[in-house]
């Protein structure tokens, strides 16, 4: 049985770093070219689109190979490779240097204790970690970051945005660029300036430190409405979801599924969650290879594959919350629920990052390469890559709501479900 993982890690607020020993390690031109040639050849052989979206892949090799040969450090080499891959405009085809580590089930990232989003064209603080230096220095949600290490924050953003040229959509590129605004080495200091709601500009020095993101299922109730939030589809989250339906969420009159930070995950786990709402045997779309043959077609099912729990059938109305961060397997789930008219969608258009990788390729120096080997179409025949899914009701962020910690999308979802339960 095929197990397909569909996860777009680039939307998570993390940054990779190179250990000092790697950054100064010398490498021969031959070894650098061995890595470059392996990347180029693997993409040529395995990429799902043999036309490369009209890109001349032979010319790409001629253009970037001399740059790879002259690279002085692994960081420079991988920068060249990333520049070449970015021309594919494919967020899933990406490369990781040997000392870059990321576990999508237990994501760790470097943070200064705050997260920012682009609101009204500005980097606005949307969360401040409790107990962090940022909180002690007076950074608050709704504040606008103005400078980073003395440089205008919007100039830093523009530079990060240029680095995200390979994103599947412009909206995705902007989210990625904002998530990487404070990129840098672990334990390194960062000077930031920000403006609060009182109009005063303040400054502080913060430290980049490791943090781990909680991807566990979060469940709560507001009256007769149940709320479920999780950031990745795994077998564990699917089991927890079924247990919640039979426990804390039993007999709810409506259900909110918050996928605004869900970057995807395992196709089987996504299918099991979808099976709680859709009849068994329903197609959740199809994955096709470069010859347009169907390679994988997930379906809903009556029983879970990897657990003894039964699949609880949910009849209550459903609202799904989405954002530009909703990607990969999460987008497939949203599409299936929307096409079946089983859910009302509130929030923002999804990532449009829906391609599939069969297996990760190991490079000669120990680096790793992901290549999009399969395209995806919904059961209705719609292609999501580069497009995403628009919500039924659009709700955008604004500074005032962020400052007041008001979640208008969640409020709209609860209000809709509460009203439906009265009728």
Contact (Cβ atoms closer than 8 angstroms) between residue 155 and residue 226: no
In whole angstroms, what is the distance from residue 177 CA to residue 156 CA?
A: 9
Q: Which tens digit of pLDDT belongs to each residue from 142-177?
A: 999 999 999 999 999 998 888 776 778 888 888 888
Contact (Cβ atoms closer than 8 angstroms) between residue 38 and residue 364: yes
Domain interval for residue 140: 108-212
Per-residue model confidence (pLDDT) at position 65 = 97
Give me the mean pLDDT over the 14-36 stretch. Answer: 56
Q: 């980073």: which residue's tokens?
A: 148
Which is higher by pLDDT, 87 or 1? 87
Asked if pLDDT for residue 23 goes beyond 50, the answer is no
The mean pLDDT value of the chain amounts to 88
In whole angstroms, what is the distance from residue 264 CA to residue 215 CA?
A: 11
**Residue 333 and residue 316 share a domain:** yes
Which is higher by pLDDT, 2 or 127? 127
pLDDT tier, 5 (very low <50, low <70, confident <90, very high otherwise)? low
**Residue 375 and residue 276 share a domain:** yes
User: What DSSP designation does 378 have?
Assistant: -
Per-residue model confidence (pLDDT) at position 107 = 62
**Residue 196 and residue 222 share a domain:** no
Q: Which tens digit of pLDDT belongs to each residue from 192-248?
A: 999 999 999 999 999 998 776 667 899 999 999 999 999 999 999 999 999 999 999
Asked if pLDDT for residue 9 goes beyond 50, the answer is no
Per-residue model confidence (pLDDT) at position 12 = 34
**Residue 130 and residue 83 share a domain:** no
Give me the mean pLDDT over the 75-83 stretch. Answer: 92
Q: Does some domain include residue 287? A: yes
Measured in whole angstroms, the distance separating CA 403 from the mean position of its chain's CA atoms is 25
> Looking at the DSSP assignment, which residues form a beta bridge with residue 147?
152, 193
Q: Does some domain include residue 8? A: no
In whole angstroms, what is the distance from residue 53 CA to residue 88 CA?
A: 7
Number of domains the chain is built from: 3
Q: Does some domain include residue 261? A: yes
CATH code (residue 308): 3.90.226.10
Q: Does some domain include residue 101? A: no
Query: Beta 114-119 vs 122-128: how paired, if at all?
Result: antiparallel
In whole angstroms, what is the distance from residue 270 CA to residue 362 CA?
A: 27
In whole angstroms, what is the distance from residue 174 CA to residue 185 CA?
A: 22
In whole angstroms, what is the distance from residue 238 CA to residue 300 CA?
A: 13
Q: Whose CA is closest to 177, among 348, 13, 9?
A: 13
Asked if pLDDT for residue 309 goes beyond 90, the answer is no
């Amino acid at each position: 049985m095929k197990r397909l993982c569909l996860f777009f890690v680039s939307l998570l607020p993390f940054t990779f770093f190179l250990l000092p020993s790697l950054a100064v390690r010398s490498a021969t031109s031959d070894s650098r070219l061995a890595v470059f040639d392996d990347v180029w050849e693997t993409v040529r052989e395995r990429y799902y689109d043999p036309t490369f979206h009209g890109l001349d892949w032979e010319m790409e090799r001629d253009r970037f190979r001399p740059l790879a040969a002259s690279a002085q450090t692994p960081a420079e080499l991988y920068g060249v490779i990333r520049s070449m891959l970015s021309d594919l405009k494919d967020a899933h085809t990406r490369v990781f240097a040997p000392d870059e580590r990321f576990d999508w089930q237990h994501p760790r990232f470097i943070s200064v204790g705050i997260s920012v989003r682009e609101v009204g064209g500005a980097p606005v603080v949307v969360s401040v970690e409790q107990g962090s230096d940022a909180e002690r220095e007076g950074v608050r949600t709704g504040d606008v970051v103005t400078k980073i290490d003395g440089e205008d924050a919007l100039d830093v953003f523009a530079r990060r945005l240029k680095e995200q040229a390979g994103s599947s959509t412009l909206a995705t590129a902007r989210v990625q660029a904002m998530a990487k605004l404070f990129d840098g080495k672990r334990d390194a200091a960062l000077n930031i300036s920000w403006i609060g709601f009182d109009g005063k500009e303040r400054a502080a020095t913060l430290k980049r430190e490791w943090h781990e993101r909680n991807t566990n299922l979060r469940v709560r109730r507001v009256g007769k409405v149940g709320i479920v939030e999780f950031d990745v589809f795994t077998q564990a989250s699917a089991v927890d979801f079924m247990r919640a339906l039979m426990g804390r969420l039993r007999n709810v009159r409506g259900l909110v599924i918050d996928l605004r930070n869900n970057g995807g995950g395992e196709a089987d786990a996504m299918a099991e969650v979808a099976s709680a709402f859709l009849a068994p045997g329903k197609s959740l779309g199809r994955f096709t290879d470069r010859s347009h043959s169907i390679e994988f077609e997930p379906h809903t099912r009556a029983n879970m594959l990897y657990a003894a729990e039964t699949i609880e059938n949910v009849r209550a109305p459903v609202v799904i919350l989405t954002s530009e961060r909703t990607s990969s397997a999460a987008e497939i789930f949203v599409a299936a629920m929307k096409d079946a008219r089983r859910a009302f969608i509130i929030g923002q258009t999804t990532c449009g990052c829906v391609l599939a990788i069969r297996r990760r390729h190991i490079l000669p120096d120990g680096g790793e390469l992901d290549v999009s080997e399969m395209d995806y179409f919904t059961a209705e025949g719609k292609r999501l890559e580069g497009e995403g899914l628009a919500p039924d009701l659009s709700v955008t962020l604004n500074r005032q709501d962020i400052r007041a910690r008001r979640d208008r999308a969640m409020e709209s979802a609860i209000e809709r479900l509460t009203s439906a339960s009265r009728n």
